[in-house]
Amino acid sequence: MSRRNRQNKAVGAKQDKKTLLNCEGFDVCSDHHNRNFYHRANFVLPIDNIKEPDSRQLEQSTIEYIPFLNTSNRLLNELYSIINTSPTTRAIIKNKTTLSSGAGFYATDGRMSSISNMETPKAANADDLRELDDYINDITGDGRSLQEELEKVFFDMWSYGNAFIELRKSRLNGANYLTVHHVPIEYCRPKKVTEYSETNKVECIGISNRFEDGEQDPANVVEVPVYPNFENVGGIERSIIHIKDYSPQFFYWGLPDWIASVIWGEMEYRSAKFNQSKFDNGYVPSAIVTMAADMNSDEAGQFIKKFQEKFTGTGNNSKMFVQVVRDMDAKADVQILENHNEGEFLNLVEITTDKIITAHRWTPSLAGIKTAGQLGSNQQIRLEYEIILNTVIKPVQKMIERRLIAPILKESAAYNDGANWQNIALHLQCMNIVSFMSTLDASAVMTENEQREELGLPPLENQNIEADANDID
């Protein structure tokens, strides 16, 4: 092969590689053995590709506070809309919030431990808990309890994969008092980490109600340092805790665990709107109606409006449309547009619900959906709940105990006047959604009068006499 031919071949190879790199949906890469292979890179439409700006984009941007995840708050607003319009999504998130918040707290001696095989600590002394109980029942200083603030935190975590809560070293009734406040996610944005940062971590959170409107750098931003740092902000030492659900390639924000079902939540809403439109039209198929008339545009518009009010909407279904004409050439022309996709639509509704439940790592029974061929007994619900509790609820509860409750107890014990709970740990008490009492035979464990007492009925004297006699025997 001549030298010129070898050069042309090499140039052609470079051009081929460049062409492959520019091909839609493909990229070229090589492994450690330098073997080239292809993989799909852009099969997701850009509007559905959820990602944070990379470091190069942020360096070139003048944005100081990183939005979630674009400046227009599109993703945040989309998640908010789905939560409020998708029945399945809303129900599961509310169930997760209720189960995660639990049935209150239980206390143990000693600090929070992540070692499961340690000796179980004894319950904290009741005298030491009275003051702590008063404190967590007024954690904000204005009457709201720690349980109430945690419910907001859990709701944000399950909804958006992020939650913010602020610690303030305040003064209450002349005494030092650490107050704790949930901060809505739409008011918060992490401050951009600069290339000169020594820690390469987010050091503060910008808080402004103008972020909710999509403003990038509003003038009223208040910067609060990320815990464990406290700084004087407006005369009060303040710090903020940002809890997020880790997701690869995300540094500033987390993602909710149901992010993959966003499109299905939207489809559930669209399915309901489809049926609503059917009702508005009286379940009459769409039609094209043409009438011969001598009208101007305003008169025609008014006529069409009255025609729609007469034959569409609640109570107007199955009405007859009768027209009397002298000239058959002037009769109305009605073309019915039949819909032959009803079966596919019903299947889509079922698939949509299944996909939403799967993305939430939930079960149909706990979502309130009956499954064909299953009785939905208490035993089945208890089994499903135990699986969900151990794989979904408890991991997040443990994270909140470690990342949020433990710092609150630590800082309040050090700052509050007279605090005496530095050696107490608080844990979230799990609730039982189905009691085993429902499976017991009441007559086997209770006397008839005890059963009547539970029903609010007066006791039977003969039963008491028989019970006393049995006790004597």
Asked whether the beta carbons of 37 and 29 are under 8 A apart, the reply is yes
Decide if 471 is inside a domain. no
Same structural domain for residues 38 and 60?
A: no
In-domain check, residue 377: no
Answer yes or no: do 111 and 225 share one domain. Answer: yes
Residues 185, 134: one domain?
A: yes
Q: Is 176 exposed, middle or buried (0-12, 13-18, 19+ CB in 10 A)?
A: middle
State how far the Cα of 336 lies from the Cα of 204, in Å rounded to an integer.
62
In a domain, 114, yes or no: yes
With a cut of 70, list the residues of the chain below it in pLDDT.
Answer: 1-42, 111-124, 278-288, 311-326, 329-330, 336-345, 371-377, 434-442, 462-473
Domain co-membership, 28 together with 115:
no
Residues 300 and 226 both lie in one domain: no
State how far the alpha carbon of 94 is from the alpha carbons of 12, 57, 85, 174, 382, in Å. Answer: 60, 37, 13, 39, 19
User: Do 93 and 155 lie in a common domain?
Assistant: yes
pLDDT at 338 (0 to 100): 63
Q: Are 211 and 223 in contact, with CB atoms under 8 Å apart? A: no
Query: d(Cα 14, Cα 455) in Å, to the nearest integer?
Result: 87
Q: Is residue 366 part of a domain?
A: no
357/360 Cα distance (integer angstroms): 5
pLDDT given at position 156:
98
Dig out the tokens for 182 from the structure: 């949930």
**Domain range enclosing 141:** 55-258+391-428
In this structure, what are the phi and psi dihedrals at residue 138, rounded to the nearest 5 degrees? Answer: -140, 55
Beta 236-244 vs 287-290: how paired, if at all?
A: unpaired
- Same domain? 117 vs 231: yes
pLDDT at 184: 97
Residue 125 lies in a domain: yes
Decide if 473 is inside a domain: no
Does residue 298 sit in the same domain as residue 240?
A: no
- Residue 306 counted as domain residue: yes
CA distance 137 to 402: 20
CA distances from 330 to 288, 290, 301, 323, 337 (A): 16, 10, 19, 10, 22
DSSP structure class, residue 225: E
Q: Tens digits of per-residue pLDDT, 254-306? A: 999 999 999 999 999 988 887 777 666 655 556 667 777 777 888 878 877 88
In a domain? residue 367? no
What pLDDT was estimated at residue 344? 61
| Same domain, residue pair 224 and 115 | yes
Within this chain, do residues 208 and 231 fall inside the same structural domain, yes or no?
A: yes
- Give the per-residue pLDDT at 398: 94
Does residue 323 share a domain with residue 198?
no
Task: Identify the pLDDT of residue 16.
Answer: 42
Q: Looking at residue 165, what is its pLDDT?
A: 98
For residues 20 and 67, state if they share a domain. Answer: no
Tally of domains in the chain: 4
